[in-house]
Amino acid sequence: MSKILIEKGDITKLACDCIVNAANKTLLGGGGVDGAIHRAAGPQLLDECKTLNGCRTGEAKITKGYNLKAKHVIHTVGPIYSGAENDREMLASCYEKSLELAKKHNIKSIAFPAISTGIYGYPKEEAAKIALETIYKWIDSSNYEIDIILMCFDSETQNIYEKYIKKENN
Ligand code: AR6
C-alpha cells in the first residue's frame, strides 16, 4: 500500500529515490527550494537541465540527483498564483505528472515540497488541499506502490497538512 508521510526539514538532505523541485519554466535554477536543490546537487544538475528545453507550467521532467542523496530529481513548474480557476488545475497537474513520471521510472519513494506556496504565492491551505486530493486520487487509480513524503519547510505548512490528512482519514 502506498503511504503519505508528513515530514519537516530540508528536502535536499533526504535520502529517498527522488525529490521534487518547484522549478520555473526555464529549469535553469532560481531561489527557494530550486536554488537549494541546485546548490546541493552541484553544477552537473544545471548542465543536464540545460538539455531539457525548459518545462511548461503543470508539467514535469526528470534528471539525475548528482551530489544529492536522492537518485533523481523531478522538476515541475507550479502556477504563479493569480486567483484564476486554472491555478488549481495547474497545481494538481504538477503532483499528478510528477507521480506518473515517478511510476514510469520505478521510483519507490518521492518527496514533494509545497509547490507554488513560496515565491509563487499560492495560499498554503488551498495548495495543501489540492496536493492531498490529487495524491489520494492518484494512489486510488494508479495501481502502484510508492511512499510519498510531503516535506514541510515551516510548521505552518506541516500543521495544515496534518489537519487535512486527519480529515481524509476520518
Ligand atoms: N526544503 C523544503 N522546502 C523548501 C526548501 C527546502 N530546502 N526551501 C524552500 N522550501 P519556493 P514556488 C519551501 O519559493 O513558490 C524559485 O525561484 C518553501 O518554504 O521554493 O513554487 C523557482 O525557480 C515553500 O513552502 O517555490 C521559481 O521561480 C515551498 O518550498 C519559483 O521559486 C515552495 O517555495 C517557484 O516558486
| pLDDT tens by residue, 14-36 | 999 999 999 999 999 999 999 99
DSSP, res 120: T
Q: Quick: pLDDT tens for 32-78.
A: 999 999 999 999 999 999 999 999 999 999 999 999 999 999 999 99
- The number of folded domains in the chain is 1
d(CA 60, CA 69): 20
d(CA 132, CA 22): 17
Which one of 33, 45, 122 would you pick to mutate in the ligand 1 pocket, going by the greatest count of ligand atoms within 8 A of its CB?
A: 33
32 alpha carbon – ligand 1 mean position (Å): 4
119 alpha carbon – ligand 1 mean position (Å): 6
pTM of the shown model:
0.97
Helices 124-142 and 85-104 pack at an angle, to 10 degrees, of: 40
Q: What is the CATH number of the domain that holds 101?
A: 3.40.220.10
Q: What is the mean pLDDT of the chain?
A: 96
The grid coordinates of residue 81 equal 498564483
21 lines ligand 1 (CB under 6 A): no
Q: Which domain holds residue 77?
A: 3-169
